[in-house]
Amino acid sequence: MSGIAVPAAAGRLGQVTFRGIVRSEWVKLRTLRSTFLTLAGAMAAMVGFGLLVTSMTAHRWSGMDEAQRAATNPLAQSQIGFFIAQLAVGVLGVLVVSGEYSTGMIRATLSAVPDRLPVLWAKSAVFAVVTWLLMTAAALAAFLGGQAVLRSTGVGLSLGDPGVARAVLGNGLYLTVVGLFGVGLAGVLRNAAGAIACVFGVLLVLPELVKAFPKSLSEAVWPYLPSTAGRAVATVDAGPMALSPWAGFAVFCLYAGAALAAAAVVLKRRDA
Amino acid sequence: MIEARSLTKRYGAKTAVADLTFSVRPGVVTGFLGPNGSGKSTTMRMILGLDAPSSGCVTVNGKRYAAHAAPLREVGAMLEARAVHPGRSAFHHLLALAATTGIPRSRVEEVIDVAGLRKVARKRVGGFSLGMGQRLGIATALLGDPATVILDEPVNGLDPEGILWIRTLLKSLAAEGRTVLVSSHLMSEMALTAEHLIVIGRGRLIADAPVAEFTRSAARDVVFVRSAEAARLAALLAGPGVAVAPGERGGIDVTGLASERIGRIAAEHGIAVAELTPRQASLEEAFMELTRDAVEYQPTGRYAAGAAQEGRAA
C-alpha cells in the first residue's frame, strides 16, 4: 500500500497553557483585516476630529464674544473624536467574539481548549491591552495636537493642569471598557447584529430614554448610566450630578464585568 | 479508542441521538454511516465535548475529551462545516490553534505540506474551493499528531484525486495504530475505505460490524421477474420470508426465493415468464434497505413512489 507519511510530532507537544491561549488569541486578533480597519479608524477619528474641531475654534476665536469664549472646553474639543472611536472599538469588541460563532471557528477553538473559559479571559485580555495602548496613544495625540492648535487663543491646556492628564488617560480607559462591554454582550448573544445593537442601545439610546423619565427618577438614575458613569473619568468637571471620576469608572467597569460574567456562564453551559 | 455508552442528545422534543452505545478501536478505519440528519455530526460534537449529552457519556482513551491535558494531541477533528474564519490565511488559522498547546511553527508547516496546501497557505481561506477547505480541515485535524482522528464527511467536494488521497491517508493513519472515525452518507465510499462500520439512522444504532459481515448480512438477493401474468405469479409466490415488490417495466422484484424455485412454480402453473434475472443487491441498496425506516426526510406524496422505484432500479 502506498501510504501517506504523516510526520510525527512526538515529544514536541505540550499541554494547554494560559500563555498559549493568550498567544493564540493574539495571532487571531492580528491576522484579521477587521482589526486593522476598526482600530485605525478609531485612531483616525480620535485625532482627526480633535484637530478639526479645535481648528474651527481657533479660526473663529477673534470673532467670538466673551460668553462663547467662556463656554469653550479645550479638553472636550480635542477629545471629541471619542464619539466615533467608541463605535469602532465597540464593534471590534463584538466582532472578535461573534466572528468565531458566525464562521464556525468556535468549534476549532473549543476543540483546542475544551475548558472554554480561558478562551474568554485570554480574548478579553489581548483585546483590552491592544485597545488600551492604541486608544491611549490616540487620546494623547488628539490632546497634544488639539492644544497646539488652540495655542493662539490662549486657552490651550497642558497635561499638568488639574485633572487633565487623568481625563486624557481616562478616555483610553473608557474606550477600552466600551470594547470589553462589546466582548461580553457578543459572548452572551453570539450574534454581531444583536450585540452591536445592545452595546450602542445602552450607550447612546438609554440616556435619551432616561431623560424622558420624571425628573426625580431621571436625576437619581442618570449618574449610574453606563455612558455617564464611564465618561466621568474622561472629563474634567463632568457636572454636579456626575459621580467622581474613579467611582464612575468603577461603575462602568461593573457593567462590562457583568456582561463578561454572563458571557462566561453562557460559554460554559451552552453547546458550541 | 472512543467509547460511547447510552449516548443521548435531545433538542427540546426532538431526539437527535438515542441511546447510542459503540466503541471505535484503534488500528482500523471505522466508518460512521447514516443518512443525512441521522445524528452523525451531533455524535461527533459530543465526542469533542462541543455539545453536552442529554444523558449517557462518551470517552476518548478512557477520559472525557475535556479532561485531557493536551486535547489536540488526543483527538484531531474536522467537523462538518468549515470551522475557519474566512478572513484569515490557512497558515494563521493553523498557527492560532497550534499556539494553544505550544505546537511549534515547524509542525504547522509540516501539516500544510501533508495536506498539499503549500501554494495557498498564505491566502485568505474565504477564497478557497470546497476541496481546499476540506484539505485545510484535514491539516487542522493532523496538527497535534493525534492518537484519534475524527473526520466528518471528508470526501465531500473533493475531486477523484482528492478522494483517493483521503482514502490512502485514512488507511495510513490507521496503519500507524491511530483510531480513525470517518462519517459518510455514502455506503459505496465507506466500502472502499473502512474496515469496520457503525451504522445509525434517526440517532439509533442500526449496525456495528466489520464491513464484510455487514455486506453479507444486509445484501439480500433479489430476483427480477417479468411476465404477462405477473400478478397471478406474485400471489403464487407469496409465503413467509418472501417479499414481492413492483419492479421496472411492469415486472416484479422477488426477495427470499431462489430463481430456480420461481421458475419451477411458474412452470407448474403454466405461467409464461419473459424474464427471470437474479440480481445481487448492491451495498448501496443494502444500506438503503437498512435505513429506509430511519431516513429523516422521507419523500412523500406525488414523487415518493417514483423516487423509491428509481432507487430500486439504480
pLDDT for B188 equals: 81
Sheet containing strand B29-33, edge to edge, reads: B75-78, B148-152, B179-184, B29-33, B196-201, B204-210
Cβ-based contacts of A26 with chain B (< 8 Å): 99
Cβ-based contacts of A112 with chain B (< 8 Å): 71-72, 97, 100-101
- Give the closest of A13, A109, A110 to B144, CB-based: A13
How far does Cα A73 stand from its chain's mean position? 23
pLDDT for A7 equals: 63
Mean pLDDT of chain A, nearest integer: 94
Quick one: cell of B258? 431462489
Q: How far apart are CA B140 and CA B156, in angstroms?
A: 17
Please tell me if residue A11 touches chain B, with a CB cutoff of 8 Å: no
Q: Look at A13 and B103 and tell me if their CB atoms are within 8 Å.
A: yes
B228-275 tens-digit pLDDT = 888 899 888 888 878 888 888 888 888 888 888 899 999 999 999 999
Q: H-type helices in chain A, by residue range?
A: 18-30, 33-60, 66-71, 74-78, 82-103, 105-112, 117-149, 164-189, 192-200, 206-211, 215-221, 226-231, 245-269
Rounded to 5 degrees, what are φ and ψ at B75? Answer: -130, 130
Q: Look at B85 and A21 and tell me if their CB atoms are within 8 Å.
A: no
Phi/psi-derived region of residue B39, left when phi > 0, alpha when psi is between -120 and 50, beta in every other case: left
Quick one: cell of B302? 406525488
A86-113 tens-digit pLDDT = 999 999 999 999 999 999 999 999 999 9
Closest B-chain CA to A102: B85
Please report the sign of the dihedral spanned by the C-alpha atoms of residue B52, residue B57, residue B60, residue B66: positive
Average pLDDT over residues A199-215: 95
How far does Cα A102 stand from its chain's mean position? 22
Adjacent-strand bridge partners of B174? none
Cβ-based contacts of B83 with chain A (< 8 Å): 103-108
Q: Between A116 and B279, where is the model more confident?
A: A116
Predicted complex: ipTM over 0.95: no
- The single residue listed with the C-alpha cell 417495466 is B249
Q: Break chain A into its structural domains and give their ranges.
A: 18-269
Q: Look at B145 and A115 and tell me if their CB atoms are within 8 Å.
A: no
Q: Are A55 and A119 in contact (CB under 8 A)?
A: no
Cβ-based contacts of A114 with chain B (< 8 Å): 48-49, 65-66, 68, 71
B15-68 tens-digit pLDDT = 999 999 999 999 999 999 988 888 999 999 999 999 999 999 999 999 999 999
Best residue of A107, A123, A269 to probe chain B, by most B CBs closer than 10 Å: A107
Domain B219-313 has CATH 3.30.70: yes
Adjacent-strand bridge partners of B197? B31, B209
Q: Look at A28 and B88 and tell me if their CB atoms are within 8 Å.
A: yes
Average pLDDT over residues A180-204: 97
Q: For residue B155, what is the DSSP state?
A: T
Q: Are B304 and B298 in contact (CB under 8 A)?
A: yes
Residue A175: exposure state from Cβ atoms within 10 A (0-12, 13-18, ≥19): buried
- Give the closest of B71, B84, B93 to A16, CB-based: B71
Q: Look at A112 and B72 and tell me if their CB atoms are within 8 Å.
A: yes
Q: For residue A204, what is the DSSP state?
A: I
Q: What is the length of chain A? A: 272
Q: H-type helices in B115-186, by residue range?
A: 130-142, 160-175
Q: Can you give the pTM of this predicted structure?
A: 0.86
Q: How far apart are CA A145 and CA A147, in angstroms?
A: 6
Q: How far apart are CA B30 and CA A90, in angstroms?
A: 47
- Give the closest of B101, B140, B165 to A108, CB-based: B140
Architecture label for domain B2-216: 3-Layer(aba) Sandwich (3.40)
Q: Please, where in chain B does CATH 3.40.50.300 lie?
A: 2-216
Residue A178: exposure state from Cβ atoms within 10 A (0-12, 13-18, ≥19): buried
pLDDT for B294 equals: 60
Q: Please, where in chain B does CATH 3.30.70 lie?
A: 219-313
Residues of chain A with pLDDT > 90, as a percent, come to 91
